[in-house]
A = this chain, B = another copy of it.
Amino acid sequence: MSDIEIARKANKKPIQEIGAKLGIPSQHLLPFGHDKAKVSAEYIKSVSGNKDGNLILVTAINPTPAGEGKTTTTVGLGDGLNHIGKKAAICIREASLGPNFGMKGGAAGGGYAQVVPMEDMNLHFTGDFHAITSAHNLLSAMIDNHIYWGNELGIDQRRIAWRRVLDMNDRALRQITTSLGGVSNGFPAEAGFDITVASEVMAILCLASNLEDLQRRLGDMIVAYRRDRSPVYCRDIKADGAMTVLLQQAMQPNLVQTLENNPAFVHGGPFANIAHGCNSVVATTTALKVADYVVTEAGFGADLGAEKFFDIKCRKAGLSPKAVVIVATARAMKMNGGVAKADLGAENVEAIKKGCANLGRHIENVKKFGVPLIVGINHFVKDTDAELEAIREYCTAMGVEAVVNKHWAEGGKGIAEMAQKVVDMIEAGGAAYKPLYPDEMPLAEKIETIAKEIYRADGVSMDKKIRDQLKAWEDAGYGNLPVCMAKTQYSFTTDPNWRGAPTGFELPVREVRLSAGAGFVVAICGEIMTMPGLPRVPSAENIRINDEGHIEGLF
């Protein structure tokens, strides 16, 4: 059966029953249909005094076209923990709507380790992204409107730092000119649209601890500069209050369920290549107050997702993760070892041994954050014993345990062994989380530290203009912010085709941006696209409601 066929056969329970597993009373669950709910802000406040459960991060090797199953493992581990009698919840990100009409939509997990309702999660879900789109574009309209009515703030219209967003793959909107057509339409200007997940509002929603913090961060966003280069803030435009009103409901985390009827928080969805790529702080902290074990994931490989999880999310939200799972597959190891996708079906132990260098580097990297780790091998039916054994041997040599997990085929019981090992690891109490670099390190040095310690670059190339910009931000009081690296997810380098464990390269920093509201400095390395386009034959052409009333073509 395909993922969607399995998902459609799910024996879903009313969302109130799922909430009850965590002790959330039904009046504090705002239902969206019968199988989705938002947890009320009042309830979240009421449990703030509870003891925190144990936070487990699931991360992975660099993604390959073979697929790794990071979300599948996150879902499976949550079910596995419940299977062995623990009170566990998972926390994952929401899917972006636009890209589903280009390529097929993403399931939340796979096989018997999925979160449902899958259709809703790939469509409007509970409307969070629409709220972010509205809030973002309200600010855009208010900036242009301010200039239209006299520009009292003295905005330099050539230096507007705030674009517009749509949750749509639409390359025609990347670069546009606005306000054409005469006096009543304003002053013609260059502008453009990004996809909603790339919005700083999205990053803020995912990092804010509550509504007050949300509004303060929105107010802090820099939207433009004056001719003297002084910044104009969202607060100056007086948009922060209305944006907060638009986002009030979106700030409440969404509760759904796994195929095994275990609780799953699905909230927030920032890009992991240009933003910090983690689900919301509100969802994670709430889950920790109501569950003993919380399994979450971070976008892409450990070089991007886990590093940002530790250095941005955990640092800023005061989280202290207790264990890390690094997901690997025999297939992905083979691709890292140089095998083409077409040849993945054949056993190739040598390629696996070679490809394990990628896994090894992620293991070394994660160890730097002080949290004990385990390798979860996501089992595929064609994997051979010799291949799996080769990965295990490699991990043992590095002093790390590796477990083969069969949650895809068997659900929670297929990953129960690893779930128990994770619990044992946590109970052994070895976790002592620490970020990679201290707050007070200069910004350029933070970039260099990540480049050298995590990517293993020989150094960073950054021209004087960028160094001056970083220095100027330090002088303006932003020096204590962490750095958010924007880089291809496919390689430790900026070359997406350079797999394995590269050495002997420099990391080129092309541009730096200040996300003053989200609270990080973005360092853009290589090419990054903030508004995707549709392919020659978009999947939208085949999406429809079939005669049985099912959505076809979305998955």
Among B131, B173, B181, B545, point to the contact of A175 (Cβ < 8 A): B181
Q: Are B124 and A541 in contact (CB under 8 A)?
A: no
Q: In chain B, what residue has the closest Cβ to A150?
A: B536
- Complex interface: chain B residues within 8 A of A148 (CB): 171-172, 533
DSSP class of A's interface residues: helix, strand, loop or mixed? mixed
Interface-facing stretch out of A29-37, A357-365, A409-417: A29-37
Among B30, B170, B215, point to the contact of A140 (Cβ < 8 A): B170
Contact with B along A234-249 (1 / 0, CB 8 A): 0000110110111011
Interface-facing stretch out of A59-67, A184-192, A197-205, A339-347: A184-192
| Interchain nearest-CB distance for A164 vs B (Å) | 8
Among B169, B189, B238, B543, point to the contact of A541 (Cβ < 8 A): B238
Q: Are A176 and B178 in contact (CB under 8 A)?
A: yes
Q: Are B241 and A553 in contact (CB under 8 A)?
A: yes
A174 interface residue, CB < 8 Å from B? Answer: yes
Chain A contacts with B in 28-47, Cβ cutoff 8 A: 30-34
| Interchain nearest-CB distance for A21 vs B (Å) | 20
Q: Are A171 and B185 in contact (CB under 8 A)?
A: yes
Q: Are B178 and A173 in contact (CB under 8 A)?
A: yes
21 CB contacts below 8 A, A to B, read A31-B32, A124-B130, A124-B131, A124-B246, A127-B127, A130-B130, A134-B168, A140-B170, A141-B169, A141-B534, A144-B171, A144-B172, A145-B171, A171-B184, A175-B181, A238-B540, A239-B541, A241-B540, A241-B542, A244-B545, A245-B544
- Complex interface: chain B residues within 8 A of A124 (CB): 127, 130-131, 134, 246, 249
Q: Are A172 and B189 in contact (CB under 8 A)?
A: yes
- Complex interface: chain B residues within 8 A of A142 (CB): 101, 534, 538, 540-541
Q: Are B138 and A540 in contact (CB under 8 A)?
A: yes
Q: Are B171 and A176 in contact (CB under 8 A)?
A: no
Among B179, B211, B242, point to the contact of A540 (Cβ < 8 A): B242
Q: Are A170 and B185 in contact (CB under 8 A)?
A: no
Interface residues of A (CB under 8 A from B): 27, 30-34, 97, 101, 123-124, 127, 130-131, 133-134, 137-138, 140-142, 144-145, 148-149, 166-181, 184-186, 189-191, 211, 215, 238-239, 241-242, 244-246, 248-249, 533-534, 536, 538, 540-545, 551, 553-554
Q: Are A543 and B123 in contact (CB under 8 A)?
A: no
- Complex interface: chain B residues within 8 A of A173 (CB): 178
Among B127, B130, B174, B181, point to the contact of A181 (Cβ < 8 A): B174
Q: Are A241 and B545 in contact (CB under 8 A)?
A: yes
Q: In chain B, what residue has the closest Cβ to A30?
A: B33
| Interchain nearest-CB distance for A30 vs B (Å) | 5
- Complex interface: chain B residues within 8 A of A245 (CB): 123, 543-545, 551, 554
Among B141, B174, B551, point to the contact of A170 (Cβ < 8 A): B141
Q: Are B179 and A134 in contact (CB under 8 A)?
A: no
A123→B167 CA distance, assembly (Å):
19
Q: Are A177 and B176 in contact (CB under 8 A)?
A: yes
- Complex interface: chain B residues within 8 A of A553 (CB): 241-242
A175→B184 CA distance, assembly (Å):
11
Contacts A30-B34, A171-B179, A245-B554 given; 9 further ones with Cβ under 8 A? A101-B141, A123-B249, A141-B170, A142-B534, A171-B186, A175-B179, A176-B179, A176-B180, A244-B544
A149→B181 CA distance, assembly (Å):
29
Nearest 8 CB-CB pairs, A to B? Answer: A241-B544, A175-B181, A130-B130, A242-B540, A242-B543, A141-B170, A238-B541, A144-B172
A462→B510 CA distance, assembly (Å):
58
A553→B241 CA distance, assembly (Å):
10
| Interchain nearest-CB distance for A116 vs B (Å) | 16
| Interchain nearest-CB distance for A16 vs B (Å) | 11
Q: Are A138 and B238 in contact (CB under 8 A)?
A: no
Counting chain B CB atoms within 10 Å of each CB, which of A124, A185, A245 scores highest?
A245
